[in-house]
Amino acid sequence: MTADVWLPIPPDEIEGLPEGPAYRHWNGEETFPADPADCAYYVVPYMKPSGIGTRPLPEMRSVQVVQTLSAGIDHVEPGLRHLPEGVQLCNARGVHEASTAELTLTLILASLRGVPDFVRAQDRGEWLGGFRPALADRRVLIVGYGSIGAAIEDRLVPFEVAPVVRVARSARTTARGPVHPLTELPALLPEADVVVLSTPLTEATRGLVDAEFLARMKDGALLVNVARGPVVDTKALLTELESGRITAALDVTDPEPLPPGHPLWQAPGVLVSPHTGGPTSAFLPRAKRLLVDQLSRFVNREPLRNVILTTGA
């Protein structure tokens, strides 16, 4: 096999890549490493500004696989219309679950226990005592129960939360209990102390968290977004935050990056982290293992993992 494979990680830094393809390193630079028309397997650069990863797609006339290193594929979807039929789009399931779930738990605990207030008080040299909410006994609602949602629940269980409530696009049963369909959200929201968003960004979830959604959340509830910024209507969220009725912890925002002076920075009761769910020390080892496995399957003409869609299907 002599087809080109484009990798955002230098190929000599990935142990175990199968022999056969011509590996090209491209991580979003202005100049392409080779003719995009010869690329058969394209691994999209990770955490690049909008439009970088889709730039070579119109010229990739021979591509068979587009592989993201992110769980979401929304940043790639606009470029798929340029591809021939039969191209498989694969995501990075298995790469980000641990890091994203870890951050989710961090945001919940930091928000409930008032850690940002403690940091500000430390800067002032002030001893800020008093009672704070605990995570124990809280009812957590996870909206988006894929592999990341399940990993979040794995980490919540040891904290003695009330039974976790799970919501996904459609109903199903898991070993831990039922997953409710999105249509049941209105009835579930008023009972949740913490609402975690870990759903993909699709046309069905864009703006899902609107004024009506937020109004159904109970007084004092915490909204945690580790999904995508546009899942939440920022204007509606600001209205609720400024009223003091709910609080929020946001790893993703709309717009993103959040520009200086944006009202979310100063809104009461909000903790903002700069989209750090995935990029941790856990990313590279897991990403490399995924690529070795996927490319070995590709070279040996075995079924790929994590296929999200096939163009033209």
**Mind telling me the catalytic residues?**
275
**Tell me, what DSSP letter sits at residue 166?**
E
Which phi and psi angles does 162 have, rounded to 5°? -65, 165
Closest CA to 279 of 101, 52, 105, 100: 100
Q: Do residues 62 and 82 make contact, with C-beta atoms less than 8 angstroms apart?
A: no
CA dist., res. 294 & res. 292, Å (int): 6
CA dist., res. 71 & res. 97, Å (int): 9
Type of residue found at 313: A
Long-range Cβ pairs for the range 162-170 (8 Å, 24+):
162/137, 162/138, 162/193, 163/139, 164/140, 165/139, 165/140, 165/141, 165/191, 165/192, 166/142, 167/141, 167/142, 167/143, 168/144, 168/199, 169/204
Tokens 């869609």, located at residue: 309
Expressed in angstroms, the distance from the first to the final Cα of the chain is 26
CA dist., res. 214 & res. 300, Å (int): 49
Tokens 């600001």, located at residue: 238
